[in-house]
Amino acid sequence: VMQRTRHSTVGLLAVSVVGMMAMRPVSGFMYTGSARLFHSSSRFIAPRISSLGKARPLVAAKGFNVFNNRPASSQTCAPTMVASDPTTIEFTAPIFDKYEIVKEDMVEEYGAKVVLFKHKKTGAEVMSVSVPDENKVFGITFRTPPNDSTGVPHILEHSVLCGSRKYPLKEPFVELLKGSMNTFLNAFTYPDRTCYPVASQNLKDFYNLINVYLDSVLHPTLTPWTLKQEGWHYEVEGKDEPLTYKGVVFNEMKGVYSSPDAVHGRACQQALFPDNTYGVDSGGDPTVIPELTFDKFSGFHTKFYHPSNSRIYFYGDDDVPARLELLESFLEEFEALPSAPKESQVEWQKKRSEPWELTQTYPAGADGKPLMTVNWLINDKTLEPQEELALDVLDDLLMGTPVAPLYKTLRESGLGESVLSDGLETVLQQATYSVGMKGINDVEKIPEIEEKVLETLKEIASKGFEKSAIEASLNSLEFRLREFNTGGFPRGLSFMLGSLSSWLYDRDPMEPLRFEKPLAELRARLDKGEPVFQDLINKYLIENGHRVTVKTLPDTKLEEEIIAKEKAELAAVRSKLSAEEIDNLVEETKLLKERQLAEDPPEKLALIPSLTMDDLDKEGRNIPIEIGEEKGVKVLKHDLPTNGIVYADVGLDMRVVPFDLLPLMPLFCRCLTEMGTSDLDDIALSRFIQTHTGGVYTSTSTTQKYGAGNKVPEQEVVSNLFVRGKATYAKAGEMLEVMHKVLTDTNFDNKAKFLQMVLETKARMEGGMVGSGHSYAAGRIGARYQIADAVSEHMSGLSSYGFIKGLAKEVEEDWGSVLNKLLQIRDLLVDRRNLLVNLSAEQKGFDQIQSKLTEYVSAMPLRTDEVKVQDWAAEMHKFEGKGEGFIVPTQVNYVGKGGPMFAPGEETSGSYGVVARYLRTTWLWDKVRVVGGAYGAMNVYNPSSGMFKYVSYRDPNLEQTLDTYDGTGEFLRETAKEMSQTTLANAIIGMIGDMDSPMSPDQKGFTSMDRYLTGMTDEIRQQRREQVLGTTAKDFEAFADRLDSVAKDGTIAVIGSKAALEEANKKLGLDLTQLL
């Protein structure tokens, strides 16, 4: 959610998450299981993401408060327990006697009243943030430093949510997902902490979530069965069968250790911290996880999961005394445990004086290539706020954009396919810095890469940065901090994560929330002419001996060796077991599966607090839209509280592009913002964007029209290229100017830079196939049936991978031909007749920018030749057979199956969305994740196309998962017969929660435009909402009947290991392709 956008590796600070399905998806799949999540690398709270996606938020817009002018459309049916002014607190309620007020202050930057409390009896630390933000957040965090790589903190993170004293169910977490309107529900495992955050806009729901989470972490029902399910166990179905390892975390980490980027990132972290807790893997090493015993597992909870070792966090517009009353009901039974915070302290890693190297291997296919990074441990004492902020700016100056000098030097070196630019990480106690390359062509050239890194740093330390570059980077940082745009991610959670980077280490948690003072101090030093950044480079990089160069080399035999070693290890264990012990394991396997599939009795399910149907808004939330024209161009305006920022989306109808040119579109988009123009080279263009705007970036969107009357329409594609930007009202002219330049005047004729883009795309796709194979499998399935999916797959799916590999050769041998294709695309697209403009701002903003908008539209070329919409349907690849299997070097599989449930003209219903969502938290969760041991399983139902897809994530199985998919219809029919009103109500409540998920102003504007383009009117949305609210058990049965067609005739797409695919294919008859 908050991944640093320029990272090209998994990153050193990956955070494990227990159920990404809990987060509201913007589109696409919702995980039924866990997923990796990344957060901002900076302790300062603003995340390195924005509504502009890949664009880092850029220039200053001073003096606006992000919490002002909350839109009325975002109100919910919350209970009445809301403070009239959440920033005014009177400490008169009796509950305050239970807490010591450690500090009380106003964080002016964000209009937040912050009070730090200490629970007198237990010593628990509580941070209470009061702001007029209805998306309330709670979190409890424990410092949990491991001393080995058994993954005990990670497994425990999963396990505490599997039943507790007050809620003795199989998985209260899943029950919450079914019937909650949460806007965030998850858990994170860091290298030194475990966080349990929840968020909701509905106060009743919010307090329900807190109740369950607090009981889960403080009083979990931990048994050996819990460890077997979530961690690891021996599995054997019959006394003559071989042993295997199973377990959710075990299989998750097998997937992680199949990714070259993840293998490399973990080695870098562990190499930098050889002497403290960061030198082991808190997520778990699959070769070490089986060493975890139940005593150590339960003992870890006893040692660290105590209020005395906790940081507890509240945020939002709810009443502070009510927060503390709820918390007291859980804390009052505990006594202080003074040893807990002492035993959880993270030791400082002492810095070494001389650099060293580390070489390792990763499982690779025949075309695997080396990775390398140079890595530094930055500090061995606490950094001052201004120095850390300066390091953040330095990081941006060095590698924040494609034209930043260190990034540019490596990118243009020709020594590798892609730059590894993790850069500065300051989330843990000690900061690190990392830079290198992947897709290295010659292992012997790795020393040259290291030399280039060090030489470039020395040169910059000697000459310094240009003043314009520094100002652009400062503006970038300031805009990001002031705008504080977290998209659909709760702002309060970003506050929490930022605070913890200081609070966890017994420092002031408010410090990372403030930026005015350190930013002013930094600017003052720069104004005096101090060589701030040159000094930092010398001190923390050039003269820093604690530097390790990590090389990760491909090994085509390693995957087989890992599999053989595991088999031998299991065979050795089995050989020492008596016949009775084997029989016991067979019985254990059987009992575990019975426990996993057993349903909780109604009386236990009733213990989970939930909303009722009366708590739901019957009316949907609409987004304001004004439809107009400017010189014949459609202009959409959304009057929204944007706090002085205008968000602009310029769309160009992509249906004019021939099918054979579509694979070039992602590269064409990159060229627009990276190549430069006739009067601005790439560096000048980048600085102009940083200096005058909040960011400019490009994207494509391809979908299809909605049908009238709830009927699936004949396929009509909506496809656009968007140039998107944001700026203050005063800078809107500059934003529109540069958006015009990149569309009409990009200088495409740069063979070397374009070739590097091609190689970077190739490297990114190869990493994605191993780490995110589910998305590629889903795209492949859709491409068989839907024009929109075929177009998307042709541009960025498996089909495009072969094109990209061939394109690299074509660029080398016939650049002129490639250049002509790029120019052809521009000539076809950039035409006023293809244009759409979408604006989000306040009315006063529209008034200020109107003249600039007129100038922009007038300057857009108006061509006279015929506009030809391409017949993409005729170009679709005609798939045959049952499906496809794609072989990659991995220890897990991504198993997909799908097909059309409805034909054009057939009627759908909003109620079917309720059924599809229900499957994720019941059948698929239980069968694929819990019993099967996959890290996740997901499905997507598209009512506009009638398509349904299943996909699993990091799955140890293949045929078993397909059998589960095919059994879904029967499961739904049985469910429909026995469905209680409570179960049905929870399913509806969860769906309404998805429909009402919060959006930032720019997200609202873009979503409204998308609805306009696809014909999803407010009337249709309201009708579908009413269908959701009116869902009955009969809808489950009807959906089951439709799913039978997917079971019978659906397409299979699997990305997985050679061994798994070849074994399964003896029955499946898939077309197999070796991808990597």
Task: Go through 1018-1035 and write b for each residue having 16 or more CB atoms within 10 A of its CB, e for each that does not.
Answer: eebbebbbebbbebebeb
Do the beta carbons of residue 541 and residue 435 sit within 8 Å? no
CB within 8 A of 31, min separation 6: which ones? 19, 20, 21, 936, 938, 953
370-421 residue pLDDT tens: 999 999 999 999 999 999 999 999 999 999 999 999 999 999 999 999 999 9
Tell me how crowded residue 1010 is: count the other CB atoms within 10 A of its CB.
Answer: 17
Q: 3-state DSSP call for residue 315?
A: strand
Q: How far apart are CA 25 and CA 920, in angstroms?
A: 13
pLDDT of 909 reads 95
Strands 310-316 and 125-130, sheet pairing: parallel
Closest by CA position to 123, among listed 382, 342, 429: 342
Closest by CA position to 259, among listed 247, 267, 270, 248: 267
pLDDT of 85 reads 60
pLDDT of 86 reads 63
Q: Between 36 and 1054, where is the model more confident?
A: 1054
pLDDT of 87 reads 61
Angle, CA of 270, 271 and 275, to the nearest 5°: 75
pLDDT of 1022 reads 97
Segment 326-330 mean pLDDT: 98
Instruction: Kindly indicate the confidence band of residue 76, based on its pLDDT and cuts at 50, 70 and 90.
Output: very low
Segment 83-112 mean pLDDT: 85
- The residue count of the chain comes to 1076
DSSP designation for 444? G
Q: Exactly one of 125, 157, 252, 793 is catalytic; name it.
A: 157
pTM of the shown model: 0.90
pLDDT of 976 reads 97
**Is pLDDT at 5 greater than 70 in this prediction?**
no
335 given a catalytic annotation? no
Q: In the beta sheet, which residues pair with residue 140?
A: 196, 312
pLDDT of 810 reads 97
1019 given a catalytic annotation? no
**Is pLDDT at 11 greater than 60 in this prediction?**
no
**Is pLDDT at 63 greater than 50 in this prediction?**
no
Q: How far apart are CA 307 and CA 344, in angstroms?
A: 13
Give the rounded percent of residues in the chain with a pLDDT score beyond 70.
Answer: 92
Lowest mean pLDDT among 65-79, 257-271, 600-614, 1036-1050: 65-79
Average per-residue pLDDT in the chain?
90
Per 3-state DSSP, the chain is made up of helix, strand and coil in percentages (nearest 5) of 45, 20, 35
Q: In the beta sheet, which residues pair with residue 358?
A: 550
Q: In the beta sheet, which residues pair with residue 997?
A: none
Query: Which amino acid is residue 863, in one-letter code?
Result: R
Angle, CA of 57, 59 and 64, to the nearest 5°: 95
Do the beta carbons of residue 127 and residue 116 sit within 8 Å? yes
120-144 residue pLDDT tens: 999 999 999 999 999 999 999 999 9
Q: Exactly one of 109, 125, 134, 230 is catalytic; name it.
A: 230
| Secondary structure, 3-state, 899-962 | EECCCCCCECCCHHHHHHHHHHCCHHHHHHHHHCCCCEEEEEEECCCCEEEEEEECECCCHHHH
**Is pLDDT at 567 greater than 50 in this prediction?**
yes
**Is pLDDT at 41 greater than 80 in this prediction?**
no
**Is pLDDT at 51 greater than 70 in this prediction?**
no
Segment 8-20 mean pLDDT: 29
Positive or negative, the CA dihedral 23, 12, 47, 685 is: negative
CB within 8 A of 539, min separation 6: which ones? none
pLDDT of 53 reads 27
Tokens encoding 997: 């998920």
654-663 residue pLDDT tens: 999 999 999 9
**Is pLDDT at 89 greater than 60 in this prediction?**
yes
Q: How far apart are CA 95 and CA 97, in angstroms?
A: 5
Lowest mean pLDDT among 55-69, 71-85, 757-771, 966-980: 55-69
**Is pLDDT at 743 greater than 60 in this prediction?**
yes
916-933 residue pLDDT tens: 999 999 999 999 999 999
